């Protein structure tokens, strides 16, 4: 079974803090994704990566950056957290183009 | 870019009845349409998908239909059971696309 793990299930941070969300997949998948999930808005793509050190902006990249130094790990970085970044963050991975995306359990982030 | 609309946002059905969730998409180049189920406290999990070379696909109590002309696709769940209660998301992606665009989600409740 594909396993996608996220470093934290719940996080509470202060406005202005730098926040790191980590995601690891164990199936040698090429593609990795970061989404945020908000009620009534579904899943919105923040960034994705199709190879080590490669990244592409999704639909809502503002206020976020990413890092992929190793194939199995994809990090989402909030340089200076703001209250409007309070959300559920979901990581996913897929073997290749047009392939099934497998999701992690999510990190619920609260920014105070 | 692609836009996916999903209806209804909430759906309540009696156990044993059928449930139908509908999605429309805007980009005629999209040809991959997965459906994900998200249970409480978990990440979304693929339950069925369809590609544009077929009009219908069935897997036990779950079926998906696709109308490319009208640019809409639907999820049908028959003989609903309490464990079908969850949030369901549709999504659309293009040929060999690395990214998916998700609908807003439908919260399905099965009443005993």
The minimal CB distance from A98 to the residues B6, B41, B93 is found for: B93
Task: State residue B52's pLDDT score.
Answer: 79
Q: Nearest chain B Cα to A5, which residue?
A: B43
Is the pLDDT reported for residue A107 higher than 70? yes
Which chain A residues have a beta carbon less than 8 Å from that of B46?
100-102
How far apart are the CA of B74 and the nearest CA of chain A, in angstroms? 17
Summarised one tens digit per residue, pLDDT across range A4-16 is: 999 999 999 999 9
Residue B88: closest C-alpha in chain A? A42
Q: What is the dihedral of CA B18, B49, B101, B109, to 10 degrees?
A: 20
Q: Identify whether the C-beta of residue B102 lies closer than 8 Å to the C-beta of residue B89.
A: yes
pLDDT tens sequence across B59-109: 999 999 999 999 999 999 999 999 999 999 999 987 656 688 999 999 999
Residue B57, Cβ neighbours under 10 Å: how many? Answer: 15
pLDDT at B1: 82
pLDDT of residue A100: 85
What pLDDT was estimated at residue A96? 82
Identify the band that residue A40 occupies on the pLDDT scale cut at 50, 70 and 90: confident
pLDDT digit string, tens, across residues B11-47: 999 999 999 999 999 998 898 999 999 999 899 999 9
Q: Is the peptide bond before B16 cis (omega within 30 degrees of 0)?
A: no
d(CA B110, CA B105): 16
Distance (Å) of CA B62 to CA B9, B13, B43:
19, 15, 20
Note the pLDDT of residue B96: 59
Let me know if A80 is exposed, middle or buried by CB neighbors in 10 A (0-12, 13-18, 19+). exposed
Question: How high is the pLDDT of residue A33?
Answer: 96
CB contact under 8 A, B43 and A41: no
Token pair for B34:
């997965």
How far is the CA of B52 from the CAs of A49, A93, B92, B99, in angstroms? 26, 23, 11, 17
Banded model confidence at residue B54, pLDDT cuts 50, 70, 90:
confident
């Amino acid at each position: 079974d594909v396993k996608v793990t996220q470093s934290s299930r719940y996080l509470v941070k202060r406005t202005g803090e730098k926040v790191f969300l980590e995601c690891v997949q164990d199936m040698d998948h090429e593609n990795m994704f970061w989404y945020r999930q908000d009620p009534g808005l579904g899943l919105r793509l923040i960034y994705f990566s199709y190879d080590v050190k490669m990244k592409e902006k999704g639909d809502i990249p503002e206020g976020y950056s990413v890092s992929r130094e190793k194939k199995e790990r994809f990090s989402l970085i909030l340089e200076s957290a703001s209250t409007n970044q309070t959300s559920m963050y979901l990581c996913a991975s897929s073997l290749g183009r047009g392939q099934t995306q497998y999701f992690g359990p999510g990190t619920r982030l609260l920014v105070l | 870019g692609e836009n996916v609309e999903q209806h209804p946002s909430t759906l309540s059905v009696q156990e044993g009845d059928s449930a139908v969730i509908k999605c429309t998409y805007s980009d005629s180049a999209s040809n991959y349409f997965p459906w994900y189920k998200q249970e409480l406290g978990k990440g979304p999990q693929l339950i069925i998908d369809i590609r544009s070379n077929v009009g219908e696909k069935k897997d036990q109590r779950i079926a998906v239909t696709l109308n490319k002309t009208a640019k809409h696709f639907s999820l049908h769940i028959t003989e609903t059971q309490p464990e079908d209660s969850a949030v369901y998301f549709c999504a659309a992606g293009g040929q060999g696309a690395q990214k998916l665009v998700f609908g807003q989600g439908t919260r399905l409740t099965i009443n005993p």
